[in-house]
């Protein structure tokens, strides 16, 4: 991984990955792309950035070839709740974009490294809900999940047939403070920190008792880098590894926040669509194979993540002049 092209680089994962890879590989060795080019955006301004609609194959190929990239990290896709509202569009964007990305990787040359994330959404309601095995039935009942499981198979196909060095993980809900996710089912676990600081209260659109896997963004970015640098001879699996750092339900994240904001109030205003999606996903997946094959090891548990989120978001709100009811410079561990 020496020269990397990232699609969807302005998204929740992409913005942090671009920053990390610019630091690791050098600013000129990361080509960040997205469908829009906003002003005053650090991903746009701190390095090489190009506008790319991933459904435009010719432009995709041109950018990859001109810059002689050896790695494609394809992040442009719709998340679960948005995909459920617009299933046909979601299929076209998620699968069409992935197909273009894989074709570009094949065209660029054998051995091109390739990453596109899968998700806990690749599982359906008939999978074992707790300690969900890496290799088991995958019968998702959401359009997002259908694109994820199809994507895993397509990535394995391009590896086996064309020698594209495809690798992937099934991400859990990702929690971060820099860029908010959009249209995901696990987004409540990000929103809650924003509202805890601004209002000391939150109404969750996911019901109490609903367990889902989660992970702090630092661990997610580390996981991508570690997997892409892993010794291929150790990889029994490729697309895609289960990874998770924690599994919790809304009452538990609320309790974690209450350690620092004792009068934080949690309420519920359940969204049936996102609740239905969450109910079809596992409670807690098993990440043993990622640990065995490439030493996956997350650093953040729920309380450590909560402390980090409260401090980092406080700083961000202060910089942006956003009014809050409470703020943290630091927290005692």
Residues annotated as part of the active site: 144
* Cis? peptide before 240, omega within 30° of 0: yes
Interaction between residue 186 and ligand SER (CB under 6 A): yes
| Distance in Å, CB of 274 to ligand SER, minimum | 8
Interaction between residue 79 and ligand SER (CB under 6 A): yes
Alpha helix (H) ranges present in 163-295?
A: 188-199, 217-229, 250-258, 272-279, 288-294
Interaction between residue 124 and ligand SER (CB under 6 A): no
User: Which stretch in 34-42, 181-189, 263-271, 317-325 sits in contact with ligand SER by CB under 6 A?
Assistant: 181-189
CB-CB contact of 100 with 142 (8 Å): no
Helices and strands in the chain, H and E counts: 12, 16
Q: How far apart are CA 184 and CA 179, in angstroms?
A: 13
Select from 120, 245, 250, 232 the least CA-distant residue to 195.
250
Interaction between residue 173 and ligand SER (CB under 6 A): yes
Residue with smallest beta-carbon separation from ligand SER: 184
Q: Which residues 6+ apart lie within 8 Å of 227 measured at CB?
A: 115, 167, 168, 169, 241, 290, 294, 296
CB-CB contact of 23 with 52 (8 Å): no
Interaction between residue 171 and ligand SER (CB under 6 A): yes
| Distance in Å, CB of 2 to ligand SER, minimum | 29
- Quick one: how far is CA 304 from the chain centroid? 19
CB-CB contact of 237 with 134 (8 Å): yes
Site string for ligand SER, 127-166 (x = CB under 6 A): -----------------x----------------------
User: Which CB, 49 or 123, lies closer to ligand SER?
Assistant: 123
Q: Are strands 71-74 and 30-34 parallel, antiparallel or unpaired?
A: unpaired
Interaction between residue 64 and ligand SER (CB under 6 A): no
Q: How far apart are CA 310 and CA 2, in angstroms?
A: 35
Report the interhelical angle of 217-229 vs 12-25 (nearest 10°): 50
| Distance in Å, CB of 321 to ligand SER, minimum | 29
Q: How far apart are CA 302 and CA 309, in angstroms?
A: 10
User: Which CB, 100 or 176, lies closer to ligand SER?
Assistant: 176
User: Which CB, 254 or 278, lies closer to ligand SER?
Assistant: 278
User: Which stretch in 49-57, 97-105, 180-188, 233-241 sits in contact with ligand SER by CB under 6 A?
Assistant: 180-188
Query: How many residues sit close enough to ligand SER to count as binding (CB under 6 A)?
Result: 10
Interaction between residue 242 and ligand SER (CB under 6 A): no
| Distance in Å, CB of 206 to ligand SER, minimum | 10
User: Which CB, 171 or 205, lies closer to ligand SER?
Assistant: 171
Interaction between residue 12 and ligand SER (CB under 6 A): no
Q: Which residues 6+ apart lie within 8 Å of 282 measured at CB?
A: 120, 123, 127, 128, 129, 130, 132, 212, 213
User: Which stretch in 3-11, 183-191, 290-298, 325-333 sits in contact with ligand SER by CB under 6 A?
Assistant: 183-191
Interaction between residue 184 and ligand SER (CB under 6 A): yes
User: Which CB, 69 or 247, lies closer to ligand SER?
Assistant: 247
Per CB under 6 A, the list member of 15, 80, 147, 283 interacting with ligand SER is 80
Instruction: Please give the residue ranges that form the binding site for ligand SER (CB under 6 A).
Output: 79-80, 119, 121, 144, 171, 173, 184-186
């Amino acid at each position: 991984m020496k020269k990397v092209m990232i699609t969807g680089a302005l998204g929740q994962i992409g913005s942090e990955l671009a920053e990390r890879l610019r630091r690791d590989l050098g600013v000129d060795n990361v080509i960040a792309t997205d469908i829009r080019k906003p002003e005053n955006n650090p991903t746009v301004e701190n390095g090489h950035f190009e506008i790319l609609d991933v459904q435009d194959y010719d432009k995709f190929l041109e950018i990859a070839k001109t810059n002689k990239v050896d790695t494609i990290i394809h992040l442009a896709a719709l998340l679960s709740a948005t995909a459920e509202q617009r299933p046909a569009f979601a299929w076209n964007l998620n699968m069409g974009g992935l197909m273009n990305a894989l074709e570009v990787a094949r065209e660029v040359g054998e051995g091109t490294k390739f990453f596109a994330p899968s998700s806990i959404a690749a599982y359906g309601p008939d999978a074992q809900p707790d300690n969900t095995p890496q290799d088991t039935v995958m019968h998702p009942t959401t359009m997002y999940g259908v694109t994820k499981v199809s994507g895993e198979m397509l990535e394995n196909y391009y590896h086996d047939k064309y020698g594209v060095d495809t690798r992937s993980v099934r991400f859990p809900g990702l929690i971060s403070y820099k860029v908010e996710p959009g249209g995901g089912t696990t987004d409540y676990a990000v929103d809650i920190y924003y509202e805890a600081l601004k209002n000391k209260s939150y109404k969750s659109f996911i019901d109490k008792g609903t367990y889902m896997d989660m992970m702090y963004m630092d661990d997610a970015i580390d996981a991508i880098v570690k997997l892409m640098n892993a010794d291929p001879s150790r990889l029994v699996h490729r697309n895609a590894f289960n990874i998770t750092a924690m599994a919790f339900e809304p009452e538990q994240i609320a309790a974690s926040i209450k350690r620092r904001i004792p009068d934080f109030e949690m309420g519920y205003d359940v969204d049936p669509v996102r609740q239905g999606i969450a109910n079809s996903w596992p409670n807690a997946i098993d990440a043993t194979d990622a640990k065995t094959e490439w030493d996956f090891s997350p650093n953040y548990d729920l309380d450590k993540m909560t402390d980090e989120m409260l401090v980092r978001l406080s700083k961000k709100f202060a910089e942006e002049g956003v009014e809050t009811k409470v703020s943290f410079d630091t927290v005692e561990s």
